[in-house]
Chains A and B, each alone.
Chain A
Amino acid sequence: MAYLLCAGLVACSTDTPDHSAKVFDQSYPAQPGGTLISAMPSDPSSMIGMVAGESASLAIGSYLFNSLLKYDQNLDLAGELAESWQVADDKKTITFKLKPGLQWADGKPLTSADILFTWQLITDENTHSPYASDYQLVTKAEAPDAHTFIVHYSQPFAPALESWASLQVLPKHKLAGQDIRTTSFAQKPLGSNYYQLKEWRHGEYIKLEKNPKSVLGSANIDHLIERIIPDTAAQFLELMADNIDSMSMDPITYARIIPSRPALQARLNQFKELGNSYTYLGFNLKRKPFDDVRVRKAINYAIDKQEIIDGVYLGLGITIASPYKPGTRWSNPDLIPYTFDPAKAKQLLAEAGFEDTNGDGVVDRDGKKLSFEILTNLGNKQREKTAVIIQRRLKEVGIETHIRTLEWASLLTNFIKPGDFDAVVMGWGLGLDPDQYNIWHSSQQKPGQFNFIGYNNPAVDKLLEQGRLEFDPEKRMQIYHEFAEVLYEDSPLVYLSAGYGLTAIHKRVQGIMNPVPPAGVSYDSQKWYIPQPLRRTQIQAE
C-alpha cells in the first residue's frame, strides 16, 4: 500500500530534466576513493554469519572475511585464501595450500591454524551454528604447517568443496578462549577481506572502510555504507533524493516507475540477474489424490506459468523445468517446462477417474470432490497473487481450491512441520552446489526436515547419493541431469518461476560488469570505482 502510494506520488509529479545527467554518462578511468551508500532492510544480528544464521550477517561478513575457496564469475570454484586444493584419489581427503603472505587487518599472519580454529569453532557443540552439519562430516582436520590445511572424511562428500567456499575464516588470536555466543567480536570484528568495520550504529547504518592489508589486494572504493531502511518506499525516496546509491527493487519499480522518470533514468543504471531461487506449488504426496502422478501432472498442465510471470512479476522471471538455475551446468537443457494445456489436464484427470458427475463444475471420484487447500505465507504479496491465479486456472479444469495465508512461524510450526497441508506455494533459495539431498532424499521427511512434501523415489535417492560421492564436475552434471529428468516425470511439485533479482545502482558507480555475469551483479565489486567528479562532496570531507 505504502509502496503504491509512493509510486503514485512519483507518477503525479512533474519531472524536470536533470542537467547533471550528461556528466554521469561519461566514462572515467578507474581511480581509488569515494563512498558507496546502499540500503538494506534489516540490521544484521552479528558479524559472525555462520553463528547468526541470517542473510544480513552473512552478507556483511562477506566484505570482512575470506573463505578458502570462492566461485568465479561463471560459478566455477576458484581459490580465495587457498592457492590450490587437491582431492585425494580415494576422494576422502582434501588438501588445501594457502597463498603466501596472508594476514589479518591488524597485521598478524593468517595461517592454516586460523582455518582449523574456525572449523573447530563451527563444529563445537556450544557454538550452535545452524550450518554445522556439513562440517561435522569431517572426521579429522589438521594444519601440519602454516600453509597447509587437510580435511578427512569417512566417505567421499562432493558438496564439501562448496562448504569450504561458504566458511568465513575467523582469527584465532582474537577468538580463542572466548564464548562465541557472547563475544564482543561479533560487534567489533577483525577480518582479512577488502573492507573492515569502521562504525556500526545499530539499526541505522554500518560503515566499512578499506582494509589496507586485504589479502586479495586493494578495493577501489574507500568507504562502503549500508543504511538500514526497512521500508522499501522510504528506500526508494532516499534513492530519488540521491542519498543512497543502490537498492534492491521490486518489479514495479524496475519495469514501471524508473522507466517513466527521465531524471531517474539519467542517474540510475538498472541491473537484472536470474536469482538462484524458484517458486513452486508443492503437493503433500502422502495425501490423496496427490499420490497419483496423473493428478499432479494434470495440475501442472492446467497452470499457465507465463501468465503468473507476466501478471505477478511483470515479466521479470522465467519458467523452469528443473530445480537449478537455467544457464548453469546443473540445469538440464533438454527439459522443457510443462506447457499450459488445459485439454491435456482434463484428459489426465479423466484417466485418473475424475469426472464431474453431478454437474457442479468440480470433478469428483468415488463421490469425493477434487478440492484442496493452498497454503502460503502472509506478507509475501507475490505468492498470494500467484495462488489466486492458480486457483482461477484450476477452476477451469474442474478443481476447487481454497487459499489460506498464514504468518510464517505459524505456517511452519502448525502445518509444514507436522505435514498437515494439501498444497503450498513457497520458494526454494538454493546454494551453488547442485546437491539437494536435504530437499529430495526420502530419509529427510522427519518433522523439521526439508522433504516435507514427502517425496519418496528410490531412483532419486540413489542419484542423490551418487551425486554426493562424485567430485568430477562432468560426471556430477550427468547425475543431476538425470535426477532432474526423474523429478520432471514425477512432477512432485509444479515449478512456477525463477524470478530476477533487480538492482538499481547510481551511474556515479562505474566499472560494474555488464552484462551481469552468472555470479551476479556484485561479483568483483572491489573493482567498482567512483570517479572524482561524481563523488558526493559531503561524504568526501570525511
Chain B
Amino acid sequence: MLAYLIRRVLWMIPMLIGISLISFFIMHLAPGDITSSEAAFDPKSSEESRQKLRELYHLDKPIIVQYGLWLERMVHLDFGHSFASHQKPVFWAETDKEGNTTPGMIQEALPITLLMNITGLMLTLILAVPLGVVAAKKYGRWPDRSITLFNFIGFSIPGFWLSLLLMYWLGVIHPWFPISGLHSLNYAQLDFWQKCQDLLMHLFLPVVIPAITGLAGVTMFIKNGMLDVLSQDYVTTARAKGLSDRTVTYRHALRNALLPLITLIGLSLPGLIGGSVIAETIFAIPGMGKLFYEAVMMRDFPVVMGILTIGSALTLAGNLLADLAYAWADPRLRKGVIPQR
C-alpha cells in the first residue's frame, strides 16, 4: 500500500509538468495579451509603452522560452505576480520592507470557493442519499414518481434563472437573505459569532441554489445504484437469513451502492476548486471561478497558470484520495486489485 502511494505521488510530478505545458501552449494560442485588454484601447496610451510592457513581461520572447522561464520559477514554487492586478502575488501573501503585507490572489479566493462548494456538495449528498434510497425502495410508487418529477425539474431549471428568482423573492420581496456579496458592510465591527452568522447568511443562496440544481443528478445516481444492488443475490441471501429490512437496506445494500459515489465525488473535485463562474458572478463572490474568468479575459497569464497548476495539483491529490477511499470502502480492492495496477 505504501509503495503504491509513493508511486502514485511520484507520478504526479510528470503529470503536472505535462498539464502545465499543454495549458501554457493552449493559453498562448488565444490571440492577444495583457496589452490588448479593453482599457488599453485608449488614444492617450501609446504603442511604445505597450511594447515596453510586453518586453517587461517577456511576452516578446518565443513561447518555449516563456515556458522555460515559468518552469524555472515554478521549481522554486514561485507563482509570480499578476500582470493585471498591480503585481499582486498570484499564490501567497508577500511582505515588503515596511512590513506591509499584500495577500496572494489564490490565497484569498480559494478558501471562499472551497467553503462554498464543499458546503454545497455536503448539502447535496445529505439530501440526495435519502431521496435516492427512498426512490429505489418505493420504485414505481408515488414517492419515487414525485422524486423523479422533482429531478426532472431540477435538471431543467437553469441555475442563473433560479438564482435571480430566489434573489428576488428572498432578498427583495422578503429581505431574509443578503442578495450578493460575502460579507456585510459592518462585518469588521461584528463579534465572532455574529461574523459566522453573517457569513452563513451570505452563503445561503449561493450554496443552496447550486445544491438544488446538482441534487437531481446525484439522486438519480444513487437511486440507480440502489436498484442495481437490491436485485443482487447477496441482498436476497441477507433477506433470506431473516435480517431486518433496515439492516439489509442500510448496512448491506447502501454501502455497496455508495461505492460509485466516491468516483463521482472524485470527478467533481476540479469543480470544487475551480469554482463556478456564473454563481460567483451573479452573487458577486470573489472566488476562484471569477478570478480565473477575469484572468483569462485579461490574458493575465501568471494568474491563469497559477490557478491551473494549483487546480491540477489539488485535482490529482483529490483523485488519489478518492482511490484510497475506494480501497478503504471495498476490501476486495485493498487486498487484491491495487498492487497489480
Binding site for B on A (CB under 8 A): 1-2, 5-6, 9-10, 13, 37, 42-43, 45-46, 48, 51-55, 125, 128-134, 166, 181-184, 186-188, 199, 201-205, 207, 225, 227-231, 233-234, 237-238, 240-241, 243, 408-410, 412-414, 428-431, 436, 438-439, 446-450, 538-539, 541-542
Q: Is the CB of B183 within 8 A of A201?
A: yes
The reply to whether A205 and B172 form a contact with Cβ atoms under 8 Å apart is no
Give which listed residue, A204, A234, A410, A413, contacts B282 with CB less than 8 A: A234
Q: Which residue of B lies closest to A429 (CB)?
A: B42
From B12-20, B79-87, B310-318, B332-340, the one touching the partner chain is B79-87
Mark out the residues of chain B between 144 and 180 whose CB falls within 8 Å of any chain A CB in the assembled complex: 160-161, 164-165, 167-168, 171-173, 175, 178-180
With A53-B42, A130-B53, A234-B283 known, 17 other A-B pairs at CB within 8 A are A43-B286, A54-B39, A130-B50, A184-B102, A188-B100, A204-B181, A229-B181, A231-B281, A231-B284, A237-B180, A408-B32, A409-B37, A429-B42, A436-B43, A446-B47, A448-B50, A448-B51
Name which residue of chain A comes closest to B108, CB basis. A202
Identify which of residues 14-69 in chain B touch chain A, using a CB-to-CB cut-off of 8 Å. Answer: 30-33, 36-53, 56
What are 13 pairs between A and B in contact, CB < 8 Å?
A: A46-B85, A55-B39, A128-B53, A188-B100, A201-B183, A238-B179, A243-B178, A408-B32, A409-B33, A410-B32, A412-B41, A450-B43, A538-B185
A6 to B179, CA, bound (A): 13
Q: Are A53 and B284 also in contact (CB < 8 A) when A9-B164, A542-B186 are?
A: no
- Among B42, B43, B49, B180, the residue within 8 A (CB) of A238 is B180
Q: Verify B186–A541 contact, CB threshold 8 A.
A: yes
Other-chain contact of A243, B48, B179, B299 (Cβ < 8 Å): B179
Docked CA distance A186–B87 (Å)? 10
| Contact indicator B282/A409 (Cβ below 8 Å) | no
| A430 proximity list for chain B (CB < 8 A) | 43
Question: Which residue of chain B has its CB nearest to the CB of A126?
Answer: B56
Among residues of B, the one whose C-beta sits closest to the C-beta of A412 is B36
With A9-B165, A238-B180, A410-B32 as given contacts, are A231 and B45 in contact (CB-CB < 8 Å)?
Answer: no
* Bound-complex Cα distance A454 to B69 (A): 38
| B40 close to A413 (CB less than 8 A) | no
Set of chain A residues within 8 Å of B50, measured between Cβ atoms: 130, 448
| Chain B: minimal CB distance from A178 (Å) | 8
Number of A-B contacts (CB under 8 A): 183
Give bound CA distance, A132 to B47, whole Å. 11
Closest Cβ of chain B to A5, distance in Å, is 5
Known A-B contacts A184-B98, A410-B30, A450-B43; A241 and B172 likewise in contact (beta carbons under 8 Å): yes
Q: Is the CB of A5 within 8 A of B161?
A: yes
Please name the 6 residue pairs, one residue from A and one from B, whose CB atoms are nearest each other, closest first: A203-B286, A409-B32, A46-B86, A184-B100, A130-B45, A448-B47
Docked CA distance A230–B293 (Å) = 12
Q: Are A182 and B183 interface neighbours, CB within 8 A?
A: no
Whether A409 lies near B30 (C-beta < 8 A) is: yes
Q: Is B290 an interface residue (CB 8 A)?
A: yes
From residue A159, how far is it (CB to closest CB) to chain B in Å? Answer: 9
**Given A132-B49, A187-B102, A205 contacting B188 (CB threshold 8 A):** no
B182 at the interface (CB under 8 A from A): yes
